[in-house]
Structure 1
Amino acid sequence: MSTSVNRPGTWTFLTHHARVLLEIARDPQARVRDMAASIGITDRAVQGIVSDLHQAGYVTIDRVGRRNEYSLNLDAHFRYRTEANLPVRLLIDMFAQHDLPKSGAQAPPG
């Protein structure tokens, strides 16, 4: 099986569930449509994933006015058996570090 060096494959390491979880971690007041646009999936797909994450105890949803505000259960553990002893906090922390300004760069104001 050979693939072109210049053409990346279609698979990625992170699932859409992980990407939605990360979007919520980045902005707990994010709208479904904004998460969908950022990830590149449909609003309906994000709604289903948020529902999955909520039902599994990873996300709490609070209605604030006309919007939802999400909070994460960072102590919830991964679902797959080989990572079941690890909290999702590790994933969030890894990507939170990724989102920080590079060393030597100034943080954006506010």
Structure 2
Amino acid sequence: MGERWTIFTNHAAVLLYLLEHPGATIRRIADDLGLAERTVVGILRDLRCDGYLLVQKEGRHNVYRVNPEGPMRRPEHGGMTIHQFFVRVLRDLEQARMTIQNHIQKGGHRPGDGGREPELSERL
């Protein structure tokens, strides 16, 4: 196998984390995502400056709100907002899930199983 890799960049990981934990501290974000606090500070600055995060001060802490209207930056995403992008991703993932489920029901192998027969527990 190759080196360990992930689907999402650190920026995406922080953004997705803040959807579930808007009141998280920098230390908590760093600890939970396995990042250095300095890295998290830089990512939060980038996301805020580019309009992906709205930051509100509540007492001594910041609360981070993801801006669903933030623009996707890659040209191939056709000027979609974050919200539009994830709606599309969810739709496409559901279609892919149904295709794979139909394939398995017809006796095919699961993606990533190397062509092996599924264990009994996996078939139940």
TM-score for both structures, normalised by structure 1: 0.71
> Secondary structure of 2:77's match?
coil
The alignment covers a number of residue pairs equal to: 88
Deviations 1:11-64 (A, max 9, x none): 221000000001111111011111111111101100100000000000011111
Instruction: Write 1 or 2 for the structure with the bigger share of helix.
Output: 2
Q: Percent identity?
A: 31
Q: For the Cα contact (< 8 Å) 1:59–1:71, is it kept in 2? A: yes
Partner of 1:28: 22
Map of 1:13 onto structure 2: 7
Counterpart residue type for residue 20 of structure 1? V
Q: Does 1:41 align with 2:35?
A: yes
Equivalent positions of 1:1-110 (< 5 A) are 4=1, 8-89=2-83, 90-91=85-86
Q: Using CA pairs under 8 Å that are at least 6 residues apart, name the structure with larger relative contact order, 1 or 2.
A: 1
Rg larger for: 2
Equivalent in the alignment of 1:97: none
| Distance in 2 separating the partners of 1:88 and 1:32 | 23
Residue 111 of structure 2 corresponds to none
1:84 deviates by 4.2
Q: TM-score, normalised by structure 2?
A: 0.64
Extract unaligned runs of 5+ from structure 2: 91-124
| Matched-pair contact (CA < 8 Å) for 2:73–2:79 | no
